[in-house]
Chain A
C-alpha cells in the first residue's frame, strides 16, 4: 500500500491517486503531511502565484489557461479560459470556488481540500489575479469538517506569509479569500444556487438568462465560478505553461483528471490519470486502479460521470477517459465519478436510489422537478418493494419525458436547472436495459435480488 493515505472525517482511509506518468493536482499527495504549510513551501508552493504576480500580467495568465484548454472539472466541462473571457467589464468582480461536492459517489474534491488546501488557495489566488477579482470565496460543503478546518488554516497561513491581503509579494495586487461552509443542500453546488446562498437567500437556482454568472453573478457583479479541481490545476499551468498542459491528453481533453471510482469494484478510490490515455476497462480492472470486480461477478453497468449521467454498459468499457469520446457515446465525464455495478446489484434499486436522491435534493422551485421527481421516486419504490404494475414502466418513461423532453443527451428540459433532468437518464437506462428485472419485480411482487 503506498504511503500518505488521507483520512476522511469518519476515519476511513482513502487511497491516494493512482500512479501516473505525471501528477498535476495530486503531486503533493504522496507526502503524509501534504496539508501543511511546510510541505507546501518545500514543494514549490506559491512559486506559481509569485511568478504570476511578479512576472506576468493577468492577461498573460489567462492566455496560458486558454492555451492549456483546461476543462472545468465541476461537471459541465466548460473551458475555464473561455469562461474567463466572457467576464463582463466591471469595477467589481468575484471569484467563487465551488467545493460543495455532494453528489453521491463524487469525492475527488474532498481529497484535494483535505490533503492539499494550500494548493487550492494558491490556485484560487492565481484565478483571482487573472480575472481581476479582489475577493474570492471558497464555498465548501458543510459536512467537510476536516476540509473546512484545513482550508481555513491554509487561508490563515497565506495571510501570515503575505500571500493574501494587501499588496501581495509587493506586486500591488490585493486579495481576500473567504471560506463559506454550505448548509447541507446538494442544490447549492449548482453555481447560481450557490451564489444565491452566498447572498444569504434560499438556494434556488437562478433562472436563465442571464446564462452565465460571468455576466451577472454574486451581488450582481460579474463572477467566475470554478470547481476546486479546476483551480487546483492553475499552479501547475502557470509553472509549466499552457502548452505543457495541452501536450498531456489529446484533443480537447487536456491534462489529467481525478476520477473517483466506487461501487462494486475491488479497489475504490481517487485516481489521477492523464486524460484519454486509459479506458474505463483500465480504470475498473487495471492493476494500478480498480483491480476488477469480486470473483465470479460480472459487470452489468457503470455510470461514467456521476449519478446524473446516462449509464454505460459492458460494450462501453473500451472508451477512453476523454470528454468528447464519452459525450459521443451518449454520456458525460461530468464530475469524474465512476460507479460500477455488477450482477449482484439490483438495477431497479440502483435507479431508484438515484431518483430518490435527486427528488429529495430538488430545491422545489419548479413544478416538473418538485412534483415529477417525487412521483418517480414513489413509483420506483413501489416497484422495488413489489407493488409495481406493468403500466408503471410507460408511466415512468412518460414522466421522464415531461421533465426532460425526449430523454435525450444532452438533456432538454422543462425545468429551471438540470437537477430535474438528472433523474431521467438513470430511469430510462434501467428500464431500457433491465426491463426484465422490472417485470420480475412486478411479477414476483418482490425484489429478486433481495
Chain B
C-alpha cells in the first residue's frame, strides 16, 4: 500500500512527504541536515536534547519545536534558517558543552563524535562558562565490556532507550534529577546483556566505550570495509575496522532488511579471537611418528593428496569423507564441494553437520526476515533466536509489539515464551501429532504463515527437526521458512553443494558433465559418516573448519578417530580436532579473505577483507585448489572469480548472480535473484545515528568485482547429463530417512536431554576470546520439582548426569521444565558430549553423596 502523502513547505520548498514522517527525516530527504543527538531512527523519538529545534507553523503562528518528535502534517511550514532557530540551536550546543569535559584528545569518540562535529557546525567558538564543571568518578565499568564516563554524558537517553525499548532489558536508567541526573545501572547489577555493545555505538559522545576498544586507535587511523558478521547465520551487516593489520572494532551498519544497525556482543566482540594469534593455526602441521611439526604448504598438501590417493586405491572413493561445520564462506564451500564430489568423487560429504534435510526444505520456500516478521503467524520450531541468531530477537520484539502472532514450539521455556501467543510443547512422545496441534493454533486470515526453524536443542538430532518441519510443511503447503540454523554460512554451504543430495544452486540447473551425481544421501550424513569413521570404514576424514569436540565428540573419541583414519583438518583455530589431525591446513578466517555468504533468509552477503591472513593461512578455496592440483585435476579454479563464474552456470539459486549486484544494495540480494526486490538506491547512513562509520576511511570499494570475478574465468558449464535429486526430492528422501531416526523410548530412570544452545558456549573460539570467555556460565542441571523429589535431592545439590559421558553439576528445580526432560544449562564443552548421536539423547541422574 503506497504511503499517503502530505504536502509541506520546508524552508520555502514545497514537497510531498509520506504522512507520519518525522520532520527531521523529511528535511533529511531534501538534504537539509538539522543537528540532533537524542533522535535515533531505530528508536522512538523522545525529544529531550532539544538540539533539533526548528520553527514550525501552528494554530498560533510559528514556534520552536523538536523536528525529531513532530511529524509532518498537511500544510505545515517549517523554517530551519531563521535567527530564532539559529539562536536556539546555538544555545542548546552551548548548554551541552557547559559541563562537558572537552577531553577530546583522550576520548575514544574524538574524530567521529557527533557532539564534536555539531559543536563545530552550530556552536560558538568560545565558551562563556566560567563555573566549575560537573565532576564524577570515572570511568565506571558498568559491565565487563562497557565503561561509563558520566562527565561526558549528554543525557540523550539513547542507551537507556536501547536497553529498555530495543533489548527489553532495562538495566540502564537515569538516576538523580536536574543537574545531578546521571546514567546508572541498578545498585550493583551488571549491565549484562547480549546486546550491550550497541550502546557504545549509539552513544553520541564518548560516555560509553567498549573496554576492548578503549584507547586502541584513533578513528582517522582506521580503515574499514563493509562486511557481514561471521558468528551466526543472521547475517548482520557490519563495518569491520582495522589498524596496523589488527581488527580494532566492528560497528553495525543499518540494513533495513537485516540488523537495523544492531549487533549482538558475540558478533561485535568476536574480533578478539581473530586477533588472538596464540590460539590460531598459523602454519600447516603434519603429524609424523606421533609428533606434530610445522611444514610448508607444499608438504602438507602433498601429504593430503597422498593419503587420499592411497585410501581411494585401497577402498574406493567412499573411503574419503568430508565433514564441515558451515563456517567456510561460499567460495570455499564451493571449492571443497567440487574437490570432494567432482575430483575425489566421494558421496560422503556433509558440510552442515546433519542439517541438510532442514536446509533442503527451507530453500524451496525460504522467507525473508521481513516476510517472517510481517507474517500472519510465525511458528518458531526448536529455536531460541536470542541464543542462536541474537539480533533476530531484537527484530522479533519489535514485530511482536506491532502485532506479530508468534507460536512457539520448544521443549522448555525460552526467550520467546513471554512473547508467544501460544506455546506448544515439543515432547518426544508427541512428535507425530505436532503438526496437527500447531496448525490448529494458526489464526485465519490474510498473509503468509512462516516457520522459523533452528537447532536449539543440541540433544535432538537435526533429522527429528527435519521430520517435524516436513510434517508442518505437508500440513501447510503454503508455509514459508526462515532458518536460524548455525553456523554462519550453513545455508551457503548447502547452496554450494556441500551437503548430501544437493547440487550447487539447489536447483535442477545445468550440470557440468564432470560432476558426479550426489550419491546416497542417507549414508552421507554427519552422524553416519562419524559412525562409519569410528568403525574404521573411512580411510580419510576431512574436517572443514569443524571442531568435532564442539560438535559433540569427546576428546578421547576424537583421538581414537585419529587412530582409525587420517584426520585432515582445515582450521583457523587450534582445537582438540586440529591437535589430533594428521595434517592441518591454516585457514584464513573472518576478515582475512574476501568472499560471500548466505544467511538464513537466503540472502547473499559480502564478506570484506581487512587483514592479511594470519601466519601462513590461506583462503579455503586456495587450499582446495592446491589439493586438487596434487590429485592431478586443477578444477579450473585459480581465482575466486572462477568460482563465481562457475556458480552462475549452475543456475538455481545462483541464476543471474553477478558481483555487480552488490553495488546496488547495502546488504545483498535474496537468492534466487528473481525473489529479490532491490528497491531504490541504498539509503545514506545517518552519521549521528551510527557514528564511526562515516568518519573512517574506506578501503577501496566494498566489493571489488575484479577480485572476485576474474576476467580470465573459463566457464565450465555444459549441458546437463543426468537428472539428479532436487531439493524437493531430497526432502522426501529425508522423510524416509526420518523413519530410521528413532527417537526411541526412555528407560525407567532415564529422561530426555534438553541441551539448549547458548550465545556463549565454551568452544575453542570462545576460549580464545579474552573479551568474552568469562561470560560462559557454570554448568547446571534443571529438572522438574517432581523429578528432584524422586531423586531425593535438594535444590543446589550436586548430581551426576550420565549419558554417553558423565558430568557433575549442581541441580536446580524449575517448574517450567517438563517432567520427561532433564535440561542441562551447561556451557563447558564436556556438556556437549552428553549428546550421543541418537535421535534424541537420553540421560540419567544420580545424586552425589555429601
Interface residues of A (CB under 8 A from B): 185, 187, 202-203, 207, 209, 359-368, 370-375, 378-379, 382, 395, 399, 401-403, 405, 412-416
Contacts and interface: CB of A to CB of B under 8 A. Distances in A.
B159 to A, nearest CB: 15
Contacts of B181: 363-365, 370
Nearest to B182: A364
A415 B94 CA distance: 15
Interface stretch (B95-103, B238-246, B759-767, B785-793): B95-103
A402 B88 contact: yes
A395 B64 contact: no
Contact of A367 (B49, B84, B90, B174): B49
Given A414-B88, A416-B48, A371 B95 contact: yes
B654 interface: no
Interface string B22-50: 00000000000000000000000011111
Contact of B84 (A203, A364, A366, A405): A405
B174 A202 contact: yes
Contacts of B178: 359-364, 370, 373-374
A365 B96 contact: no
Given A363-B181, A402-B87, A414-B92, 19 more contacts: A187-B177, A207-B46, A359-B179, A364-B176, A365-B155, A366-B48, A366-B49, A368-B91, A370-B155, A371-B96, A371-B98, A373-B178, A375-B98, A395-B128, A402-B91, A402-B94, A405-B88, A414-B53, A414-B64
B637 to A, nearest CB: 59
A401 B87 contact: yes
A414 B47 contact: no
Contacts of A399: 91
Contacts of B131: 375, 378-379, 382
Contacts of A403: 91
Nearest to B94: A402
Given A370-B179, A374-B179, A378-B131, A412 B64 contact: yes
B407 interface: no
Contacts of A364: 155, 174, 176-181
Contact of A371 (B47, B53, B173, B179): B179
Interface string B154-193: 1101000000000000000110111111000000000000
Nearest to B88: A414
A362 B179 CA distance: 8
A292 B66 CA distance: 47
A375 B95 contact: yes
Contacts of A375: 95, 98, 129, 131
Contacts of B51: 367
B63 interface: yes
Interface string B122-140: 0000001101100000000
7 contacts: A364-B180, A364-B181, A366-B50, A375-B131, A378-B131, A415-B50, A416-B47
B828 to A, nearest CB: 40
B69 interface: yes
A98 to B, nearest CB: 19
Given A207-B69, A364-B155, A371-B96, A414 B50 contact: yes
Nearest to A358: B178
Interface of B: 46-51, 53, 63-64, 66, 69-70, 84, 87-88, 90-92, 94-96, 98-99, 128-129, 131-132, 154-155, 157, 173-174, 176-181
Contacts of A366: 47-50
B504 to A, nearest CB: 54
Nearest to B92: A367
A415 B176 CA distance: 19
A370 B179 CA distance: 5
A207 B70 CA distance: 10
A217 to B, nearest CB: 19
A6 B769 CA distance: 70
A373 B179 contact: yes
A281 to B, nearest CB: 34
B47 A405 contact: no
Contacts of A379: 131
Q: Which of A207, A363, A370, A412 has the most CB of B within 10 A?
A: A370
> 3 tightest A-B contacts by CB?
A402-B91, A364-B181, A371-B95
Given A359-B179, A373-B179, A367 B66 contact: no
A449 to B, nearest CB: 23
A372 B179 CA distance: 9
A308 to B, nearest CB: 16
Nearest to B98: A371
A378 B129 CA distance: 10
A33 B180 CA distance: 44
B723 to A, nearest CB: 61
A245 to B, nearest CB: 30
Contacts of B129: 375
A185 B48 contact: no
A361 to B, nearest CB: 7
A115 B179 CA distance: 37
Q: Which of A367, A403, A412, A414 has the most CB of B within 10 A?
A: A367
Contact of A368 (B84, B95, B128, B174): B95
Contacts of A359: 178-179
B176 to A, nearest CB: 7
Given A367-B51, A379-B131, A405 B87 contact: yes
Contacts of B132: 378
Nearest to A372: B95
A402 B129 CA distance: 14
A360 B66 CA distance: 24
Contacts of B99: 371
Contacts of B128: 395
A368 B179 contact: no
Contact of B177 (A363, A371, A402, A412): A363
Contacts of A362: 177-179
- Residue of A209, A362, A364, A401 with highest tally of chain B CB at under 10 A: A364
A193 to B, nearest CB: 11
Contacts of B157: 365
Nearest to A379: B131
Contacts of B63: 412
B182 to A, nearest CB: 9
A382 B129 CA distance: 13
Contacts of B88: 402, 405, 414
A395 B128 CA distance: 8
A202 to B, nearest CB: 6
Contacts of A378: 131-132
Contacts of B49: 366-367
A359 B176 CA distance: 13
A416 B94 CA distance: 18
Given A366-B49, A415-B50, A185 B177 contact: yes
Contacts of A414: 50, 53, 64, 88, 91-92
A373 B95 CA distance: 10
A365 B177 CA distance: 8
A379 B70 CA distance: 34
A395 B131 CA distance: 13
A399 B131 CA distance: 14
